[in-house]
Amino acid sequence: MSTTTLPSSTRRRFLARAATAAVLATALAACGSGGGSAPAAGGSGGGDKLTMGFAQVGAESGWRTANTKSIQESAAKAGVDLKFSDAQQKQENQIKAIRSYIQQKVDIIAFSPVVETGWDAVLLEAKRANIPVILTDRAIDSPDTSLYKTFLGSDFTVEGKKAGEWLVQKYQGKTDPVAIVELQGTTGAAPAIDRKEGFAEATKVAPNLKVVASQTGDFTRSGGKQVMEAFLKSQPKIDVVYAHNDDMALGAIEAIEAAGKVPGKDITIISVDAVKDGMTALAAGKINYIVECNPLLGPQLMDLAKKVKAGQEVPKRVLTEETTFDQAKAAEALPSRQY
């Protein structure tokens, strides 16, 4: 087992590249043969109805609601017997749920780890019970990649880079100092760590772009509002808000308007997710740019679960497709937006 101690986001980036090749290879191989290892043991064994235990993070944001809906609807459509739990953003609740799925001898365990670390022990218990695990949405930071079959989700570092690159472009050729405040996601969560890293990476080419304050709003609207109220009091000048998700951006908008300023004009706002409420604010000019993070992971999750149960090889990393939106593109996309 590889015990490289690369930083988690570097390791995930490596896995992302390796898996892109694997995805292509797997697609080609699947056309040619039904090869693969023996069917996954554990769980209800040979029964044709697949039972999945899913431990969800919580219901903290519009993104999470859309993600839960996608998983539940896809399970019903795929004939998967879904056991579902909401951890209210607490790791101990997710661990409890995973343990109960192990006792119930489900066929597959899938979950979105609320934070990157602290999973090895419970995932080792699943491994010893011969129950395969699929990571969705967020990754874990562990050198033991045998603890899960595959990780299906976005590249959050790329999302942060896209946000930073747009800002660098906006201030191209300008040298005046630009004061940025950052609303971070949940402390220790992969999207929070990587979106911060990617944004910093992209903006370091423009030394006048400075993050003058950065604090977690825990991915919630109320958290974003409270932190933005504090920033408005403590910072002499704020030119830009970089929010790790739309819910915190929408909370920041409430605080900015209460302070008598015009969001999207007096203060530029960049966000991530592109859920309907965020896109509505973007189309209305209160947000300036949103990097999409696709929550509709249900269909791919069910497909991967069936392949794992049948003993087929699956790529270690499956990346989700996503784009970016400016105000004009948001107005066009809104009418047909699924989430």
Window of 11-19, 60-68, 97-105, 198-206 that interacts with ligand GZL by CB under 6 A: 60-68
Cross-strand partners of 213: 181
Per DSSP, 149 falls in state S
Least distance in Å: CB of 166 to ligand GZL?
Answer: 17
Binding status of residue 191 toward ligand GZL by CB under 6 A: yes
Q: Say if residues 132 and 40 touch (Cβ distance below 8 Å).
A: yes
Question: First-to-last CA distance in the chain?
Answer: 40
Q: Which is nearer to ligand GZL, 154 or 268 (CB)?
A: 154
In the numeric block, the tokens 């670390």 are attached to 117
Query: Considering only residues 245, 268, 312, 327, which one is a binding residue for ligand GZL as defined by CB under 6 A?
Result: 245
Q: How far apart are CA 11 and CA 8, in angstroms?
A: 5
Least distance in Å: CB of 73 to ligand GZL?
Answer: 18
Least distance in Å: CB of 296 to ligand GZL?
Answer: 11
Least distance in Å: CB of 271 to ligand GZL?
Answer: 9
Nearest to 167 by CA among 232, 241, 248: 241
* Distant-in-sequence, close-in-space partners of 225: CB < 8 Å, separation ≥ 6: 217, 251, 252, 254, 255
**What residues numbered 153-172 form the site for ligand GZL, per CB under 6 A?**
153-154
Least distance in Å: CB of 295 to ligand GZL?
Answer: 7
* Distant-in-sequence, close-in-space partners of 315: CB < 8 Å, separation ≥ 6: 19, 22, 23, 26, 150
Binding status of residue 138 toward ligand GZL by CB under 6 A: yes
Window of 56-64, 101-109, 224-232, 304-312 that interacts with ligand GZL by CB under 6 A: 56-64
Which residue's beta carbon is nearest to the bound ligand GZL? Answer: 63
**What residues numbered 198-227 form the site for ligand GZL, per CB under 6 A?**
219
Query: Considering only residues 61, 94, 150, 312, which one is a binding residue for ligand GZL as defined by CB under 6 A?
Result: 61
Q: How far apart are CA 47 and CA 49, in angstroms?
A: 6
Q: Which is nearer to ligand GZL, 193 or 212 (CB)?
A: 193
**What residues numbered 257-296 form the site for ligand GZL, per CB under 6 A?**
272-273, 293
Q: Say if residues 248 and 224 touch (Cβ distance below 8 Å).
A: yes
Q: How far apart are CA 51 and CA 314, in angstroms?
A: 19
Binding status of residue 137 toward ligand GZL by CB under 6 A: yes
Q: How far apart are CA 287 and CA 263, in angstroms?
A: 7
In the complex, the residues that contact ligand GZL under the rule CB under 6 A are 60-61, 63-64, 137-138, 153-154, 191, 219, 245, 247, 272-273, 293
